[in-house]
Amino acid sequence: MKDKDCIFCKIAAGEIPSATLYEDDDFRVILDLGPASKGHALIIPKEHYRNLYDIDDEVAAKAIVLAKKMVNKMKDVLGCDGYNIVQNNEETAGQTVFHFHMHMIPRYKGDNVGLGWHTGELTDEVKNEILEKMK
């Protein structure tokens, strides 16, 4: 399925030009226009899925295998020191384009890429509540 109003559907289909690093029947991999670091790229499926909540299982599985292939090549090309894979779901979690995509963010020693969180504490109350509800 495609969404006629979705920018990533148009980019994936090649209707809007992009800096394409890789393409196959299922995906286009492009450089992010607002990179967090040099080489920040996006894996975009050609079919439209809003996010991880509704992506097809087979496409999701292929996406992580493609991420593995891409970061293995790009770490050598870029000479970076690490990689973050980031995938945002819904506005509260930072999703701004509502077509599933995975960020591949190269990391360089001393960079100021602001990914991370302050660690809290897993209390017995919360742990037990979630374990109970997940049964």
Which residues are designated catalytic?
Answer: 101
Count interface residues toward ligand AMP (CB under 6 A): 12
Q: Does 14 bind ligand AMP (CB under 6 A)?
A: no
Q: Which stretch, 76-84, 89-97, 110-118, 121-129, contacts ligand AMP (CB under 6 A)?
A: 89-97
Q: Which stretch, 61-69, 91-99, 104-112, 116-124, contacts ligand AMP (CB under 6 A)?
A: 91-99
Contacts 24+ apart (CB under 8 A), 131-134: none
Task: Encode 60-91: b = buried (16+ Cβ within 10 Å), e = exposed.
Answer: eebbeebbeebbeebbeeeebeebbeebbeee
Q: Does 82 bind ligand AMP (CB under 6 A)?
A: no
Q: Which stretch, 20-28, 59-67, 73-81, 92-100, contacts ligand AMP (CB under 6 A)?
A: 92-100
Three-state secondary structure call for residue 101: coil
DSSP string, 70-91: HHHHHHHHHT-SEEEEE---SG
Q: Which of 3, 23, 26, 32 binds ligand AMP (CB under 6 A)?
A: 32
Q: Does 123 bind ligand AMP (CB under 6 A)?
A: no
Sequence-distant (6+) residues with CB within 8 A of 121 are none
The site for ligand AMP (CB under 6 A) is made up of 7, 11, 18, 30, 32-34, 88, 94-97
